[in-house]
Each structure stands twice: as structure tokens, then as C-alpha cells.
Amino acid sequence: MNLIAAVDKNWAIGLNNKLLVSIPEDMKFFRTTTTGKVVAMGRKTLESFPNGQPLKNRVNIVLTSDKNYKVKDAIIVHSMEEMLEELKKYNSEDIYVIGGESIYRQMVDLCDVAHITKIDYEYEADAYFPNLDEKEEWEITADSEEQTYFDLEFYFLKYEKKKK
């Protein structure tokens, strides 16, 4: 399974259920990478999308404890066990965990690849991604040239779990 996120210098990912910044190249990378694939997320992540609607051209699997929660064109699960059971139906390489913080934390150890857009800036934030630089089982296996969006510098990094 894959993780995909945009993080700042401190591995922050959001504030008040919104992304810290919207970078067109990052959005395009996310769209290109996840289209036709399976995206696993929490309810708040889904609700942060335009009109709270599932992402088009993807299988959307949403975790919520609310048993009455329904969303058209999304598969709703109510526990991490149920989420993992549902994900077994798909090729692991086609699954992308897209947030938020608690979903990333619960699933980081189950994933082998992380696509991280690292933004060279420190934002005010209330949600964070697990810091892969502090986890010795993860290593950067690919990185882009420095990218810029106005005055922001960022990099596309690929982290992979070291083979045992």
C-alpha cells in the first residue's frame, strides 16, 4: 500500500480540516497518481473535498464511527478491521492512503511506499503526518529537483520501506 501527502518542514498536513496550501503541481501529481486507484481516508478528509463528495474515477473507502453515515459513490467502513478487510479486495499497489492524521498513523506501518510532497516552509497546523525521517525503516529512494510555486520551494519525495 501507498501513502500520499503534502507536508511542511514539521510534517504538518493541515489546519482546521483544510490543506495547509494548495500547490497546482502537487494537486496534479495527486490526481495523476491516484486516478483509477483506491483511496482510503477518514470521514473528515472526505468532507474537506469540494461539496464533501468522493474523488471521481477512484474507489473511495471512508472510515467513520458513525453507523448512519452514507455517501453516494463511496464505500463506508466503521472500523480499522473493516477498512483492512475491504482493502484486501484490491491490489495492494493500487491502494493510496490519503489521510487524515489518524488514518495515516494507523496505516503507516502497513504501507511500503510514501509519496511525499515536502514543502520548505513552516505552517501553523493542527494535523501531522508521521515523520518518516525519524523512522529508520523508511528511506528516500527518489527525489525531484527543487520545485517552486511563487515563493514556496518544494520537492516530490518517494520514501520506501527498507527491505528486510
Copy the grid coordinates of residue 1: 500500500
pLDDT at 93 over 80: yes
Coil, helix or strand for 50?
helix
pLDDT in tens, 134-153: 999 999 999 999 999 999 99
Confidence of residue 14 (pLDDT cuts 50, 70, 90): very high
Output the pLDDT for position 54: 98
Total residues found in the chain within this entry: 164
Instruction: Provide the CATH number for the domain formed by 2-161 in this structure.
Output: 3.40.430.10
Q: Among candidates 77, 82, 78, 30, which has minimal Cα distance to 56? A: 30
pTM assigned to the model: 0.96
* pLDDT value at residue 34: 98
Mean pLDDT of all residues in 24-37: 98
**How would residue 33 be classed by pLDDT, with cut points 50, 70 and 90?**
very high
φ/ψ of residue 83, rounded to 5: -60, -50
Query: Is 38 within 8 Å of 87 (Cβ atoms)?
Result: yes
How do the domains of the chain map onto residue ranges?
2-161
